[in-house]
Structure 1
Amino acid sequence: MKKFRGISLVAGVAALGLTLSGCAAPEELTPTETTEAAAEETTAPLITVAWNDIASDFNTSSAAGNNVSNSIPAYLSGSGFNYYDNSPALVKNTEFGTYELVSEDPMTVTYTINDAVVWSDGTPIDGADMLLSWAAMFGYGKDAEGNYLFQHAAPREDLASKLPTVDGKTLSFEYDIPYVDWELQFGIGVSAHGTVMMAYPEITDPAEAKAKLIEAIQGNDLEWLKAVADVWNTGYQHTDTPENPLVTLSSGPYMVEELVADQYITMVQNPLYTWGPKPKYERITIREIADSTAAIQAVENGEVQIASGQPTADVLALVQALTNASYETGDEAAYEHIDLTTNNGGPFDPASYGGDAEKARKVRQAFLLSIPREQILENLIKPLNANASLRNSILLIPGSPNYEAMVAESGVADYLGTDAENLEKAKALLAEAGVSGTIDVEFWYPEGNVRRGQQFELIAANAALAGFNLIDESEPDWMFTDPSVNPTNPHDAVIFAWAATSLAVTGNDQQYGTGKPSNFSGYSNAKVDALLEELNSTLDPARQFEIQLAVEQEMWKDAYSITIFQFPGLAWWETAVDGVSLNPLVPYYFWNFWDWTPTAG
C-alpha cells in the first residue's frame, strides 16, 4: 500500500483495468488479423523504465488504490474516453468510444463503447462495466452505519443520484446539477464481470455476472452487492502477481505479466487490443528505484532506458553528465504542502486545550510560520530552476489567470514574510496562546524520499527555535491515507504532494470537505463545505474565482495547511529511445508510451 497521492481524484483515473499474470497464455487466445499485423509492427522485445514505487492495487478508483504508482500500470493497461496530451489538452479517444452531452436541462450524458472493445479475456466492455463505475463513483448504496458500500477515492453522491439507463454498450445518466467538469468525471474502472465472479466464484459465465450486477443495482439489492463492493474495495490489492486472472483484466494496450513486490512489474502487449495506437515494445518492465542516483546509474549502465525522480541539484548535475542519455526538465502540476491534523488529540487539535479552538488555531499558525519555506526553496529547488518561486495558493497553479489576485486577497500574506520574520511571528503567537515549553509534533514524511528527508531536517531545525520538537515518524507505506488502517491520522503533520491528473475546476471538496475520503487530517469548515459545493455547479468563471477566493480566505485563516513549491520535473532516457517527453499531469512521462521508439542501430 505504498502511495504517492494524486489530486484530481475524480478525473484522471477514468481508464483502468489490468491483466495477464496467471491469465490464459497469449497463445491460447485466437488472434485476429489486426492482432497478427500488430505483432509484425512490434520493433523491440522489451523496454525497462524506472519509477520510485511499484503498484500494489489494481483498482485505482478505490480510496486505498488511488495513487500515482498504481495509476501508471493502470494507464498502460487501460483505455478510456479521453486523456491529456502534454500541452496539456484533453484528447477524445474515439477509437474506444464516444460521449455526448445530450441535454443541458437536466444535464444528461450518454457514453457508448465501440463494438470491438473487449477485456483481455475476450468479454465485451459494455454498459455493465460503466454501471459498476457509476455506482462506485456516485456513491450508490450505503451500509447500516451510513458508509459507502464502494469505498471510492472521491464518491460524489451529490452529483448523479438517478439510476442510469443501460442498453448494451451504451449508458446514459442525468446530473442532479449543472456540473462544470462533467467531461472529466466519468470513465471505465475495473471489470464488472471480474469483480462479480471474484465475489461469487460459483458464477463462471461473464454474461451472467454482468446481468446479475445490473439487476442488483437496478433493484437496490444492497445485500447482494455487499460482496461485490468488498471485492471492489480490497480484492484488487496485491503486491505480487495475483493468482486469479480476473484481478488483472486489461482494457488497453498492455496486460500485467508479472509483479514482484518492491522490485518490478512487467507488462506484455494485449493481443486483443485494436482500439488505439499500438506500442512499439512487446513488453514494458517498470523497476522500482526509489533513489534518483541509482536510477541515473541504471540508465548509464543500460539496465534502464527511461527514468525519472525527484530532482536535486546533485541529481541534475549527474543527469547532465550522462554521455548516453537525453533529458528534459519542466514544472509538474504537483505541489508540495504540509497538512496539520486537527482531530487526533495532538498539539493542533482543540481537544488538547479543553476545546479552545482559537488557542489550537494559534498553535497551528505558529507551526506553519516556523516552516522555513524560503530556505527550502533556496536550498532544494532553485538549484534546479533559478526562476522557481514559492507556491502561495492552495487551489490555483502559479501562472494561472487568477493566481496573482488570489495571492493578493486570500490572506496568505500573513505567511509571506522572510523566514526570520515568520519565526518571530510564531514565537509571538505561542505567547499569545499562553503555550510555553516544548511542543512535540509527530511529523510524517515518506521514508526513503531524499528531498522530503532534507525538508524534514530544515523544518525541524527552524521549528525548534520557536519551541516545536519534531518527532520523525517517517514510514514508506503512507498508512495514514488508508481509513481501514487509520480512521484518524495518527501523525500531527504530514508532508506530501497533491499531483494533478486533469485541469478540472472542481474536486477540491474531496480533499478539504468535512469527512471526505481524501481529507486525511480532519479539516472541517462549514463555510468551505458550502462554497465548494456551490463551485460544482458554477459555470461563470468570474463567480468560480470568487468562490475559490472565499475558500482560501477561510483556509488560510484556519491555519490548516501551507503550500511550499511547485514540483520541478526531470526525466532522462537513453539516446537509444525516441519519443519520450514530459507531461505536467499524471502519468508524467508515461503519457505517450505508444510513441516510445527504439532508434535505428
Structure 2
Amino acid sequence: MRLPATRLLSACLFSAAAFSAVPALAATIHMIPQGDLKILDPIQNPSYITRNHGYMIYDTLFSQNAKGEVKPQMVDTWKVSADQKTWTFTLRSGLKWSDGTPVTAADCVASLKRWGAKDVSGRLLFAAVGEIKAIDAASFAIVLKAPFGPVLEMLGKPSSNVPFMMPERVAATDPNEQIKDTTGSGPFVFKRDEWVPGSKVVYVKNPHYLPRQEPADGLAGGKVVKVDRVEWNYIPDQNTALTAFRNGEMDVYELPPADFITPLAGDASVKLATDNLGNQGWLRPNHLAAPFDNPKARQALYYLVNQDEYLAAAGFPQDYRHKTCTAYFMCGSVNETAAGATPYAAGQNLAKAKQLLQEAGYKGEKIVVLAPSEPPVQAAAAMVTIQNLKKIGVNVEAQAMDWSTLLARRSKKEGWHIFHTFSVGADVFSPAVNAYAQANCDKAPSGWPCDARLEELRAAWVAEGDATKRKAITDELQTRMYEVVPYVNFGQFFQPMAYRSNLSGVLNVGVPVMWNIEKK
C-alpha cells in the first residue's frame, strides 16, 4: 500500500516521539489501541477502550474460557443452597491489591453493589437479590429473594460492564461518579505518572498479582505476565498507524480498519487473531418517532437489509463476514436460534419494505438518519441504509457528524429516526447481557423500545435455571423480538487484531489482553 509522502513523514515523526521519552525494553509490548483512553472507570463507563483498561489492572470473580464456559477466577470454591437462593463464595488465599494489601470479601461485596447499580445484567441480578454480605474476610454470600438462573454467568460477564473487583474504599464511590483511585488486583498496574491523554498509556507488571495455576484459556485460567511493560500508543491517523505497525515499531494493532485486513493477511511477519463470535451490526430505530412508533415500520427495516451489502460497504473481505445471520443472540453462540426469522430468511425485499412503511402510515415525512464520518463500520452502514431508503421513496435527511456528536444526539428522544452501531458478541449473546434487547421503555438505551411481553420473557429467561427450558424461552423471546424489532441486525463480522509474529501466546478472546504473551 503506497502512502502519501506527508503521511510517511508523520509516521517517522511519530516514531521519534514515541521512543524518545522511555528507554527501549526487550520485554515491552507496544500496542496501537482502538481509541484514546479518556475514562478510567470501567463501571461508570461501558466503552470498550475503558473495558480493555479494566482487564489490564483488575480481576474478576469468574471468567469465561474459550468455549464460553464460566470458570472461577478470584473465587476458590462456592456452593448453592438446596432452594437455590443462597450462594456462598470463598476467595482464593493470598490475593492482594496492587498496593500490597489483602483482598477481602467486603471489597467484593462493595464492588458487586456498585456494578449492580450500573450494568444491565447487574440490575437484573440485583432485582432478585435480597441481601449480599461478607461472612468473614474470605467469604461472602448472595441471598436471593427468588431463584435466579444465570448467577455465575452474570458474575463472569466478559464485556461491558465487566464486574471488576475494586478495594472497598474505591467501590464506595457513587456509581455515577468516576473513581480516582486505580488500585486493582489484576496482572498489571496503571502508571498514572506516565499517562499522556491523547498519546500514551503505560502499564507495568503487578508484583503482587497471584495467577491461577491452570493454563490461560480465553479470559479464564492463569493470567501469567511474561513482559515487564505494556504501552498503548494512540495513533489517530490509521495510515500512520499502519506504517508504524508494519515497520515493527508497534507489536499489536488492536483494530485495523477492514480495508487493511487483506494486505496485513499477506504479510508473513504479521498474524491476525479473531474471536469465535465476532461482532454484530445494528440498525437502531427511534421507537418514539413516527413512523417507527409503529411495529410495521420497524419490520420494514428488516426487508431493507442485505447483510452482505452492509459488510462489503464497510470493507470486510468475504472471509471476515459471517453468512447471513438471523439470530438476535449471535450465530455460533449457545443461544443461536432461527425462531421468528422465517419472514426475513429470504433476504432483502424492497417492495415489501415500501408496503409495510405505507401500512404504518408513512406519507413522505422527513426521516432523519444520523450519519457519522467515523468509525468506518458505522459510517458505511449509515450510507447503505440512506441509499436503500431512497430506493423505496423515503424522504431521507442524512445528518453528518462525528461519532462523539452522534452519541450526544442519539440520547435525545426527538430529532432523529435511525442510527447505526455494532457490538462484540460477548455483549450480545444472551438476553441477560444484551442491553439493546431491553424493551423497558424509558429505561432502555437510546431508541427506547417499550414492550411488556418482551420484558416478561427476559425476566423468565434469567429466572430459569434449566438449560432446556431456557432454550424454549429463547425461542419465544426472539420470536417476540422479530415482532417488536428493538433493532435490526445488519450483519455479523470479524474484525481481527493484528500482531507481529515475534509474539507468542496471544489469546483470541475479542479483548486485547496482554497476559500469556512472550516477545522474542
TM bin (shorter chain): 0.7 to 0.9
Match of 1:279 among 218, 225, 229: 225
Tell me how far apart the structure 2 counterparts of residues 513 and 435 of structure 1 sit (CA, whole Å).
23
Tell me how far apart the structure 2 counterparts of residues 503 and 372 of structure 1 sit (CA, whole Å).
21
Alignment of 1:272-311 (within 5 A): 272-276=208-212, 277-289=223-235, 293-309=239-255
User: What secondary structure is seen at the aligned counterpart in 2 of 1:501?
Assistant: helix
In structure 1, the residue matched to 2:290 is 347
Alignment of 1:329-368 (within 5 A): 329=274, 331-343=276-288, 346-348=289-291, 350=293, 360-368=294-302
Q: What do you get for the CA RMSD once the two structures are aligned?
A: 3.0
**Alpha-carbon offset, residue 310 of structure 1:** 5.5
**Alpha-carbon offset, residue 504 of structure 1:** 7.1
**Alpha-carbon offset, residue 275 of structure 1:** 4.0
1:120 and 2:136 are equivalent in the alignment: no
Q: 1:283 to 1:597 in 2, by over 3 A?
A: same
1:398 and 2:378 are equivalent in the alignment: no
In structure 1, the residue matched to 2:41 is 59
**Alpha-carbon offset, residue 568 of structure 1:** 1.0
1:498 and 2:423 are equivalent in the alignment: yes
Tell me how far apart the structure 1 counterparts of residues 109 and 204 of structure 2 sit (CA, whole Å).
28
Instruction: Please list the CA deviations of residues 35-94 of structure 1 after superposition, one character each: whole Å capped at 9, or x if unmatched.
Output: xxxxxxxx83421012211333333223xx12321111111111223323334443433x
**Alpha-carbon offset, residue 288 of structure 1:** 2.8
Tell me how far apart the structure 2 counterparts of residues 576 and 387 of structure 1 sit (CA, whole Å).
28
Report if aligned partners of 2:326, 2:489 keep a CA contact under 8 Å in 1: yes
User: What secondary structure is seen at the aligned counterpart in 1 of 2:148?
Assistant: coil
1:595 and 2:516 are equivalent in the alignment: yes
What one-letter code is carried by the residue in structure 1 that aligns with 2:487?
S
In structure 2, the residue matched to 1:355 is none
Tell which deviates more after alignment, 504-513 or 47-56. 504-513
**Alpha-carbon offset, residue 469 of structure 1:** 0.7
1:318 and 2:318 are equivalent in the alignment: no
Tell me how far apart the structure 2 counterparts of residues 474 and 517 of structure 1 sit (CA, whole Å).
26
What one-letter code is carried by the residue in structure 1 that aligns with 2:342?
A
Tell me how far apart the structure 2 counterparts of residues 301 and 510 of structure 1 sit (CA, whole Å).
40
Tell me how far apart the structure 2 counterparts of residues 368 and 481 of structure 1 sit (CA, whole Å).
26
Match of 1:70 among 50, 74, 77: 50
**Alpha-carbon offset, residue 361 of structure 1:** 2.6
Report if aligned partners of 2:313, 2:381 keep a CA contact under 8 Å in 1: no
Tell me how far apart the structure 2 counterparts of residues 92 and 163 of structure 1 sit (CA, whole Å).
19
Report the TM-score when normalising by structure 2: 0.81
User: What secondary structure is seen at the aligned counterpart in 2 of 1:533?
Assistant: helix
Report if aligned partners of 1:513, 1:523 keep a CA contact under 8 Å in 2: yes
**Alpha-carbon offset, residue 392 of structure 1:** 0.6
**Unpaired segments of 5 or more residues in structure 1?**
1-42, 139-149, 197-227, 237-245, 351-359
In structure 2, the residue matched to 1:472 is 399
1:171 and 2:140 are equivalent in the alignment: yes
1:571 and 2:497 are equivalent in the alignment: yes
User: What secondary structure is seen at the aligned counterpart in 1 of 2:169?
Assistant: helix
Q: 1:86 to 1:399 in 2, by over 3 A?
A: closer
Report the TM-score when normalising by structure 1: 0.71
**Alpha-carbon offset, residue 579 of structure 1:** 1.6
Report if aligned partners of 1:510, 1:516 keep a CA contact under 8 Å in 2: no
In structure 2, the residue matched to 1:250 is 184
What one-letter code is carried by the residue in structure 2 that aligns with 1:77?
I
What one-letter code is carried by the residue in structure 2 that aligns with 1:304?
M
1:268 and 2:268 are equivalent in the alignment: no
Percent pairwise identity: 16
Q: 1:431 to 1:73 in 2, by over 3 A?
A: closer
Instruction: Please list the CA deviations of residues 306-364 of structure 1 after superposition, one character each: whole Å capped at 9, or x if unmatched.
Output: 1132553x322210343432334564343111111113xx33454xxxxxxxxx33333
What one-letter code is carried by the residue in structure 2 that aligns with 1:170?
S
In structure 1, the residue matched to 2:468 is 542
Report if aligned partners of 1:54, 1:70 keep a CA contact under 8 Å in 2: no
In structure 2, the residue matched to 1:215 is none
**Alpha-carbon offset, residue 305 of structure 1:** 0.2
**Alpha-carbon offset, residue 109 of structure 1:** 1.7
Report if aligned partners of 1:381, 1:388 keep a CA contact under 8 Å in 2: no
In structure 2, the residue matched to 1:562 is 488
Tell me how far apart the structure 1 counterparts of residues 508 and 430 of structure 2 sit (CA, whole Å).
23
